[in-house]
Amino acid sequence: MSWSILTMLRENPDLLKEHVKKRYMDPSIVDKAHRLDQEWRKLLTLVQEVRHRHNVISREISKVPEPEKQRKIEEAKKLLEELSRLESELKRVEDEREQALLDLPNVVHESVPIGPDDSYNVPVRFWGKPRVWEGYLEQFKQQTEKYGFKVEHEIINWKPVGHADVLENVLGLGNTLKASEVAGSRFYYLFDDLVFLDMALLMYAIDSLTSKGYRLVLPPYMLRHKVMMGVIDLKAFEDAIYKIEGEDLYLIATAEHSLAALHAFEDIPEDDLPLKYVGVSPCFRKEAGAGSRDLKGIFRVHQFHKVEQYVYAKPEDSWSLMEELISNAEDLFRGLELPYRIVNIASGDLGAPAAKKYDLEVWMPAQGLYREMVSCSNTTDWQSYRLKIRLIRRKGMIKEYVHTLNSTAVASTRTITAILENLQNEDGTITVPRALRKYLEAFNKAPRDYIHPVKKEKSP
């Protein structure tokens, strides 16, 4: 027992409540967990006492002669009746306690801005020289100067075409209508150059991170329920996760899930830490909570490819490793020539697993908005407690849970939308970021400098 949240629940429940309040969640979940934990401990002690009495008698039975023996057996049976009554009560309380503990979100790091929703997110730095259409100047200032940043930008008098239109109408390299007919909305067909671009983005991110010493992993794309519960909260489960019918299997929504599972139920010696991984996988998401947001194009879709960073760390190292992860992602987006800002996510907008989260948001010229491309979280010991991933120190008997962190490196389709808007030229061509050319060269038919609109085959 040294899950930081359980320790806080027992030693300072009021402090834990403060953390829950920061998330604008109902603080009574702390009272509930606290009450159930105490009740459980009391009941457990009682059950163990009765079991002890039964064990003592049970052992005596084999040693005593006959008439005595029958009497002891009767006595043991009596105790069993009492025991089974208490045990079913214990089981009930235990289940409730377990659920109450699983309902608790992570604590909130002191550096996290407090506020109920994403309007309280705080940009911490900007990079690049965004192209701002004159009609979006005011909006741009709202997203930069309002926070005290003077961001160098280029004002343009033509409005770039939105990524969804570029995809289907300008380039003609995507078909979401056909996909929605045969699979549903938020699916897509991509063709030719955009497929090469998708592949190149993955290779680019893989190359960059493996060069930095991250171990490359191709993980399972499906996991069991027990494992899924270890990495996400119930709400994410309902909003995001697809289930395989008739099997205890769920499609991963990110390689983060399988990478967390890689060391599930293991003890990790402190000398092995940090363990740094870079996983590549398809991601499957229901987007059930998204409503009708971003229905057009490939910004928010049910499946895409992603390269993901995942780190297991000693608790004392996790905060500096979080900076490393976000800075790795920044390196990638600077290479892609996409102007971005890093945002410190407000307490009310954090997912339950994260103690702190940075988003990397790229300026989208056609929308006049910075939009999320990368999400980087320190989940401290929230996931490792659930997955029983422990830290073994060389000295001392104290058991701890490792800290785990995750961050996007590149999510393919979303990054493609950012390229389509930012590297768009007035003539409708798309400039290929220099950093990707090396990876496109692997394919004979891949684009080199520009992606060109496909010529209309038949004119109406």
Residue type, 279: G
**Nearest-angstrom CA–CA distance, 277 and 79:** 53
- With a CB cutoff of 8 Å and minimum separation 6, the contacts of 109 are 319, 355, 356, 378
Residue 12 lies near RNA (rule: CB under 7 A): no
We find the least distance from the C-beta atom of residue 394 to RNA, in angstroms, to be 8
Cβ proximity to RNA, 212 vs 226, nearer residue: 226
Residue window 397-426: x/- pattern of binding to RNA, with contact defined by CB under 7 A: --x---------------------------
Q: What's the half-sphere exposure (Cβ side, CA atoms, 13 Å) at 101?
A: 23
Q: State in angstroms the smallest separation of the CB of 9 from RNA.
A: 11
The count of residues interacting with RNA (CB under 7 A) is 22
| Residue window 61-80: x/- pattern of binding to RNA, with contact defined by CB under 7 A | xx----------x--xx--x
What are the catalytic residues?
Answer: 285, 300, 372, 375, 414
The pairing of strands 222-223 and 215-217 is unpaired
* Strands 275-284 and 215-217, sheet pairing: parallel
Q: Name the minimum Å distance from CB 77 to RNA.
A: 5
Nearer to RNA, 70 or 169 (CB): 70
CB of 47 to RNA, least distance (A): 7
Residue 119 token pair: 């309007």
Decide if 60 contacts 100 (C-beta within 8 A).
no
Buried (b) or exposed (e) across 43-61, using 16+ Cβ within 10 A?
beeebeebbeebeebbeee
Can you spell out the DSSP letters for 198-209?
Answer: HHHHHHHHHHHH
Tell me, residue by residue from 24 to 43, as one string, x for binding to RNA by CB under 7 A and - for no binding. -----------------x--
- Between CA 246 and CA 224 the distance in angstroms is 12
Question: Considering beta carbons, is residue 44 or 195 the nearer one to RNA?
Answer: 44
Q: Is residue 226 at the binding interface for RNA, with CB under 7 A as the rule? A: no
Site for RNA in 292-321 (CB under 7 A): none
If one counts every other C-beta atom within 10 angstroms of the C-beta of residue 229, the result is: 16
Instruction: Look up residue 443 and give its two tokens.
Output: 């394919």
**Token duo for residue 153:** 């930008």
State in angstroms the smallest separation of the CB of 233 from RNA: 22
* Residue 49 engages RNA in binding (rule: CB under 7 A): yes
Q: Does 263 bind RNA (CB under 7 A)?
A: no
> Which CB atom, from 35 or from 437, has the smaller least distance to RNA?
35
Q: List residues binding RNA (CB under 7 A).
A: 1, 41, 44-45, 47-49, 51-52, 54-59, 61-62, 73, 76-77, 80, 399
